Amino acid sequence: MVQDRYGSADSLKLRDVDKPAAGEGQVRLRVHVASWNAMDWHKTTGLPYLLRLVVGLTRPRDTVRGQDVAGEVDAVGRNVERFQPGDLVFGACNGAFAEYACAKEENLATMPANVSFEKAAAVPVAGLTALQALRDQGRLQRGQHVLIVGASGGVGSFAVQIAKALGARVTAACSRGCMDMVQSMGADHVIDSTRDDPGSIGRRYDLMVDMRATWPLSACRRLLRSGGTYVLVGGQRDGRWFGPLTPTLKPALSKPFVRQRLRGFTARVVCEDLSLLAEMMAAGKLSPPIDRAFRLHEVPEAMQYWARSHLKGKVVVTI
């Protein structure tokens, strides 16, 4: 699925291209399943404009979209030690919406034998984001109370399950239509995130992980205990220049004046963390919810569905 220009879903075209070659330290995969992420939307549209300093000023530098991947190792480049052809792996790469894609060896982990390609492909970016938000940025400890806002989406659904696996007491906020699904993932309490007054929740939390950035920062801080932590993971796509980066400015500017920890961050692909997520899946502690599956030629439709829907989990693309 190739993109020669920035734009909406109609800028994505199915086309035959040369099979990529695995470079040094790289693995070439025969892709079985990929999944859609917010970054795929940003790279397709070229928004916010600030992103183009990294991905290409006037047109996309990498023309094939897709990061999350699960598939079979087809070939390995020089100095690859952990994998060989035939291994089943999952992780992050460039160009996952294709029959073949190349990834760095350190960006992949072995798939658990009891996990499907669809489930594995749903994990990498969203799962890593949730894990690092809770463990690294939030410093979550067993027995603490955590509030997860936006708990039904890709990152949020992982955050609920990972927080429970880490021994936390979890309150999950999501839209009313998603509350049953979130409850089934193990949340101790589920609340309606569309309420106008978050202060009426009536509890205080050690940690708040926010995927939506729709509540005022002042209201979020009132939900935290003294010394608690607020971690902003995502935000609205609105804003042609700064987009989801805009909500991070308030926590950054407020940090010197408050006793609570206010954090914003970008997740990193870490091999050890992918392996930890694989262990959680194998043990049944993490089961990625799949909202809907599309075929490769339906990637434009997948983009439109992702952008307009209140998702219950992840959108995947089967190759």
Answer with the one of 264, 279, 305 that is the final residue of a domain.
264
Confidence (pLDDT) at 235? 60
Q: Is residue 295 located within the same domain as residue 258? A: no
Amino acid (one-letter) located at 41 = W
Same domain, 152 and 103: no
Q: Which amino acid is at 145?
A: H
Task: Tell me, yes or no, whether 209 and 254 share the same domain.
Answer: yes
pLDDT digits (tens, 9 = 90+) for 274-314: 999 999 999 999 999 999 999 999 999 999 999 887 789 99
Instruction: Give the chain's largest Cα–Cα span.
Output: 58
Q: Indicate the average pLDDT of the chain.
A: 90
Assigned domain for 303 exists: yes
Q: Which contacts qualify for 171-175: CB closer than 8 Å, 24 or more apart?
A: 171/145, 171/146, 171/147, 171/201, 171/203, 171/205, 172/147, 172/148, 173/147, 173/148, 173/149, 174/150, 175/310
Averaged over 240-265, what is the pLDDT? 59
Instruction: Give me the number of domains the chain comprises.
Output: 2
Both 75 and 7 in one domain: the answer is yes
> How many beta carbons lie within 10 A of that of residue 188, not counting itself?
15
Do 98 and 16 belong to one domain?
yes
Please check whether residues 149 and 215 belong to one and the same domain: yes
**Do 134 and 286 contact (CB within 8 A), yes or no?**
no
Residue 233: which CATH number?
3.40.50.720
Q: How far apart are CA 290 and CA 255, in angstroms?
A: 37
Report yes or no on 283 lying in a domain: no
Average of pLDDT values for 79-95?
Answer: 97
Range in 11-15, 88-92, 264-268 the model is least confident about: 264-268
Residues 165 and 91 both lie in one domain: no
Whether 130 maps to a domain, the answer reads: no
**Cα–Cα dist 116/114, whole Å:** 7
Specify whether the CB–CB gap between 79 and 106 falls below 8 A. Answer: no
Rounded to whole angstroms, the Cα distance separating 117 from 317 reads 11
SS3 for 32? strand
Say how far apart CA 155 and CA 158 lie, in whole Å.
5
State pLDDT tens for residues 196-221.
567 678 789 999 999 988 888 888 88
- Per the domain annotation, does 216 fall within a domain? yes
Half-sphere exposure of residue 157: CA atoms within 13 angstroms, side-chain side: 28
Give the domain range for residue 20: 2-123+288-318
E strand intervals along 108-198: 108-110, 145-149, 169-174, 189-192
Average pLDDT over residues 137-165: 96
At 244, the amino acid letter reads P
Residue at 274 is within a domain: no
CA dist., res. 78 & res. 204, Å (int): 53
Tell whether 41 and 143 lie within a shared domain. no
Residues 92 and 7 in one domain: yes
Strand partners of residue 295: 318
Taking the C-alpha atoms of 128, 137, 240 and 152 in order, what is their torsion angle to the nearest 10 degrees?
Answer: 60
Instruction: Determine, yes or no, domain membership for 26.
Output: yes
83 shares a domain with 163: no
Looking at the fold, whether 212 and 294 belong to one and the same domain comes out as: no
The CATH number of the domain holding residue 46 is 3.90.180.10
Residues 169 and 118 in one domain: no
Please say if the pLDDT value at position 195 is more than 80: no
Q: Name residue, tokens 């004046």.
A: 257
Note whether residue 310 is domain-resident: yes
- On whether residue 129 sits in a domain, the answer given is no
